[in-house]
Amino acid sequence: MSSPSIEATAASRLDQSWQPELEELLSVGMGAGADLVEVFVERNNQLSVLAEQERITSVSPNFGCGAGIRVFKGQRDGFAATNNLSRPALMAALEQALSMLGLGRGTSSSTWQGLGNLEDHSTGKEQWLTSCPTVPDSADCLLAATDALKRHGQHLQSRRASYARDWQEVLVAASDGTFARDLRLHQTVGLTLLAAAGDHRASISRRDGNTDQPDFLVRWPGATVAASACQSAGKMLKANFVEAGTYPVVLANRFGGVIFHEACGHLLETTQVERGSTPFANKIGQPIAHPAVTAIDEGLSRNNFGSIAMDDEGMTPQRTVLIQDGVLQRFLSDRAGQMRTGHPRTGSGRRQSHAFAAASRMRNTFIGGGPHGVEELISSIDHGLYCKQMGGGSVGATGQFNFAVEEAYWIENGCLREDKPVKGATLIGDAVTVLPRISMCANDEDLAAGFCGSISGSVYVTVGQPHIKVDRITVGGR
């Protein structure tokens, strides 16, 4: 069985041939009195495969196409979407978006000058989809991983491996002259295991993601990842529960950065400025974190899960320094954010699909590396907690958070006690309080793949940091 083909979609290739139809839509919208009209067209080919124990239990292909049309007038906007790419359906979506702003199609002619040449970011990407693993190849990789879990693990009740591939072609046109195309490929693979012995339980997961490399799954070291997950499960299965309190904490690199992403990163998006829900709205040029903290968001790093050749408004991404030496520098901004808040666009307008209007969203977001070795952070703590692997959590509108710790160990007298694993820890705090307490950053910055859900749907991101020391934080436990 081969991987499903994009020919199963109803949409034709999205390229320069769409220019006349897009120009007609934009001209009609501008003639109706809009300040700006934007059209986002896409087609996609998605596949997910799930292995449980020794069986493939799910193979789910999905094909889609559609367009989202957004109209701006002053600081207001109207948005409508359709999965029908015929001319009448697109025109109906435009009229619906116009009506939200009290604008009618009208008969006045627009003085709009039309689109320029297509900015095409798809060079070298045309063969990506056909170069991805087939369903049988994907299944073989996942079954090998669940077999490795069985070989390396003990007391395992559940073994799961999953793979997802998302291929997308996008075309963006706007009345400011934007006319851009891109092909995108995101792949993710993960393992989840549940170990149980008597009343003891341990759940461990691992996930990796990649963009732009069709052979990513074939090169993924599933056996090594499985061995690491089983080792963690073995340590955590009969670990003692952590005692609740306030401790200094060392957070590991890679996915440890999820706390900064969730608790602080969202507060630096202009969507939060528009809502009035960020405590940092008027803090540009002021210290909001310890001088040890420099935080960056960018979409340029090769192969990272949040990297993009252009954002979903057709803009080339930038490397955006959010915090420099503890001082807030700028916000992440999209087209609407710039119009409503005055913060310049940063190539951060992102959306899950044509069904969502773009919004300011993170890409690859991380705390930069510092001058210290990891051992320096640990040796500076008499009694505290080392959080090796973070789990899930929740975040409030203004940065309050609680995050479960999947794997943790005590630090005693400046030494990491790997013979003293603890479980059941939850980190509790808020961005305003915690950022000034990140007093040391190690020199081992690294990133991890993730998904981010917000106003414009779920998008691909990476989170990251080096090992960092938080001088004190509330730890929930028993």
**Residue range 163-181: average pLDDT?**
98
Round to whole Å and give the CA distance between 272 and 274.
5
Please state, in angstroms and rounded to a whole number, the distance separating the CA atoms of residues 108 and 34: 12
pLDDT band at 7 (very low <50, low <70, confident <90, very high): very low
Express each pLDDT in 393-402 by its tens digit: 889 888 999 9
> Which tens digit of pLDDT belongs to each residue from 108-152?
566 788 998 999 999 999 999 999 999 999 999 999 999 999 999
Res 427: pLDDT: 97
Per-residue pLDDT band at 106 (split at 50, 70, 90): low
Average pLDDT, the chain: 94
What is the rounded average pLDDT of the residues 234-258?
Answer: 96
Q: What is the pLDDT of residue 107?
A: 55
- According to the CATH classification, is domain 6-237 in 3.30.70.1380? no
pLDDT of residue 242: 96
Token digits for 302? 């090769």
% of the chain at pLDDT higher than 70: 96
Distance, CA of 220 to CA of 436 (rounded, Å)? 38
Cα–Cα dist 273/341, whole Å? 7
pLDDT confidence of residue 2 = 42
Side-chain-side CA neighbours of residue 404 (13 Å): 11
- State the residue for tokens 């193979």: 59
- The full set of domain ranges for the chain reads 6-237, 240-476
Average of pLDDT values for 204-216? 96
- Report the percentage of the chain scoring pLDDT > 90: 92
Degrees (nearest 5) of the Cα angle 81, 82, 84?
160
Regarding pTM above 0.85, the answer is yes
H, E, C per residue of the chain = CCCCCHHHCCCCCCCHHHHHHHHHHHHHHHHCCCCEEEEEEEEEEEEEEEEECCEEEEEEEEEEEEEEEEEEECCEEEEEEECCCCHHHHHHHHHHHHHCCCCCCCCCCCCCCCCCCCEECCCCCCCHHHHCCCHHHHHHHHHHHHHHHHHHCCCEEEEEEEEEEEEEEEEEEECCCCEEEEEEEEEEEEEEEEEEECCEEEEEEEEEEEECCCCHHHHCCHHHHHHHHHHHHHHHHCCEECCCEEEEEEECCHHHHHHHHHHHHHHHEHHHHHHCCCCCCCCCCCECCCCCCCEEEECCCCCCCCCCCCCCCCCCCCEEEEEECCEECCCECCHHHHHHHCCCCCCCEECCCCCCCCEECCCEEEECCCCECHHHHHHCCCEEEEEEEEEEEEECCCCEEEEEEEEEEEEECCEEEEEEEEECCEEEEEHHHHHHHEEEEECCCEEEEEEEEECCEEEEEEEEECCEEEEEEEEECC
Q: Is the pLDDT of residue 8 over 60?
A: no
pLDDT of residue 105: 77
Stretch 170-192: mean pLDDT: 97
Per-residue confidence (pLDDT) for residue 195, from 0 to 100: 97
Average pLDDT over residues 317-345: 97
Residue 1: pLDDT above 50?
no
In whole angstroms, give the CA distance from residue 234 to residue 410: 17
pLDDT surpasses 70 at 25: yes
